[in-house]
């Protein structure tokens, strides 16, 4: 079956295969972000040339229902009319200024309106840059050096965060990266997600030295792993007790579940928010935010340095402002949740017969290929999944015109552009694929 899948795929994406061959001669691995190379699922990646609504189209003209959504930003779907219009209008006035512009103020005010905890924010160019800046700010504010993260959580590819990281590093089966010095990671601790016991023990030994604890409140870089009851509240209490800043990395989860953050949804106020993806509406944009007391430690107000030529880029801000306003005014979240609930219910029934589990929250979901009785609760559980069967599943989905993230360790997304018909089609193809894999 596996060989037959490869043959069918190769016949249907011949132009993509040729493009990938050309790319590998010019770009390391043929890609500009490792997981795109399809190393975890095999075969050649489709080269995407267009997207519209819930669909993407590859160089061969093949149409896919897209559940990757550019890895999260496209909660409104591809090429949403108002977002494209905002970008087009802004582009007519210039692509970049490297100077102050009114949209920076508009975005900061909009974020503050939607998330009152964020009294001040700073725009950056990516989630990686935002997380890196948040950690530097925490160290500068507290005067401490140590950082705590969680196994399988991914906070960008800055050196200090490449310790037991998720996302592409989990896909590649490595926990760090060549080129990262021992000194760069010496001040970073990584503990199991959902384990307050491990956090408490670490803080008893190192608490007075820990500047910040950074966490994905809903983990999305080892597949979807939801926080257990009391976990996030416990982190808030421990950090407050030891004078450590709590950082919520909401690059994925921010504005994903409602027109705000998980911090608001769960009733927990972190000290610093890290934002990205949705706030850029599909354009490169990151941000950090928090109280005035903390944020004014950033230069030029304070001594923690951060700068960026393209920070607050007017085109990215135009896309992000348009997206956040649509989310605020149209509130597509109940629709998205209803579609996700339908998918979850259907797959949950299949769990009775097949060794799979579905994790779901809002429009985020992961189908884990595991025979364990419970849904994975941490990175150790996730690593027990059958990646070979996921690879077969992924190839069968591609053949049937469904595009999923090409890794067992990534989260998929339902957008406002999806509808019941597409979810029903997906459900039927899931069953068909499972019958072939486990025949």
The residue from 62, 277, 357, 392 that is catalytic is: 277
249 in catalytic set: yes
Taking the C-alpha atoms of residue 413 and residue 429, their distance in angstroms, rounded to an integer, is 17
154 in catalytic set: yes
187 in catalytic set: no
Taking the C-alpha atoms of residue 48 and residue 66, their distance in angstroms, rounded to an integer, is 11
CB 200 within 8 A of CB 238: yes
CA distances from 284 to 72, 98, 144, 276, 311 (A): 12, 15, 31, 8, 10
Per-residue burial over 38-63, b if 16 or more Cβ lie within 10 Å, else e, is bbbbbbbbbbbeebebbbbbbbbebe
Taking the C-alpha atoms of residue 101 and residue 163, their distance in angstroms, rounded to an integer, is 37
The residue from 154, 193, 273, 333 that is catalytic is: 154
The residue from 58, 66, 151, 249 that is catalytic is: 249
User: Which residues belong to the active site?
Assistant: 154, 249, 277
């Amino acid at each position: 079956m596996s060989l037959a899948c490869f043959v069918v795929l190769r016949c249907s994406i011949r132009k993509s295969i040729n493009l990938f061959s050309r790319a590998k001669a010019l770009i390391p691995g043929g890609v500009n972000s490792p997981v795109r190379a399809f190393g975890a699922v095999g075969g050649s990646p489709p080269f995407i040339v267009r997207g519209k609504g819930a669909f993407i189209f590859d160089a061969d003209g093949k149409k896919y229902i897209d559940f990757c959504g550019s890895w999260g930003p496209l909660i409104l779907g591809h090429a949403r009319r108002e977002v494209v219009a905002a970008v087009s209008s802004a582009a007519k006035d210039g692509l970049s200024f490297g100077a102050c512009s009114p949209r920076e103020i508009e975005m900061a005010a909009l974020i503050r309106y939607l998330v009152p905890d964020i009294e001040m924010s700073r725009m950056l160019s990516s989630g990686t840059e935002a997380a890196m800046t948040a950690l530097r700010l925490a160290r500068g504010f507290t005067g401490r050096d140590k950082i705590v993260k969680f196994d399988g959580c991914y906070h960008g590819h800055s050196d200090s965060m490449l310790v037991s990281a998720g996302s592409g590093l989990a896909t590649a089966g490595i926990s760090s990266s060549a080129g990262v010095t021992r000194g760069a990671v010496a001040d970073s601790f990584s503990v199991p997600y959902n384990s307050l016991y491990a956090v408490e023990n670490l803080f008893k030994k190192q608490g007075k030295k820990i500047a910040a604890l950074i966490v994905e409140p809903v983990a999305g870089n080892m597949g979807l792993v939801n926080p257990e009851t009391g976990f996030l509240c416990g982190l808030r209490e421990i950090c407050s007790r030891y004078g450590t800043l709590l950082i919520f990395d909401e690059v994925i989860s921010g504005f994903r579940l409602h027109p705000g953050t998980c911090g608001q949804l769960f009733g927990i106020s972190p000290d610093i928010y890290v934002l990205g993806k949705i706030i850029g509406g599909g354009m490169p944009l990151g941000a950090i935010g928090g109280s005035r007391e903390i944020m004014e430690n950033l230069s030029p107000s304070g001594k923690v340095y951060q700068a960026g030529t393209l920070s607050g880029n007017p085109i990215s801000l135009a896309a992000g402002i348009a997206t956040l306003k649509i989310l605020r005014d149209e509130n597509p979240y109940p629709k998205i949740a209803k579609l996700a609930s339908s998918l979850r219910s259907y797959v949950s029934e299949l769990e009775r017969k097949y060794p799979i589990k579905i994790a779901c929250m809002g429009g985020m979901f992961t189908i884990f290929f595991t025979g364990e009785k419970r849904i994975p609760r941490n990175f150790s559980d996730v690593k027990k999944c059958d990646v070979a069967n996921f690879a077969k599943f992924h190839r069968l989905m591609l053949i049937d015109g469904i595009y999923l993230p090409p890794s067992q360790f990534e989260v998929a997304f339902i957008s406002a552009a999806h509808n019941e018909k597409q979810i029903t089609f997906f459900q039927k193809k899931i069953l068909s694929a499972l019958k072939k894999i486990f025949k």
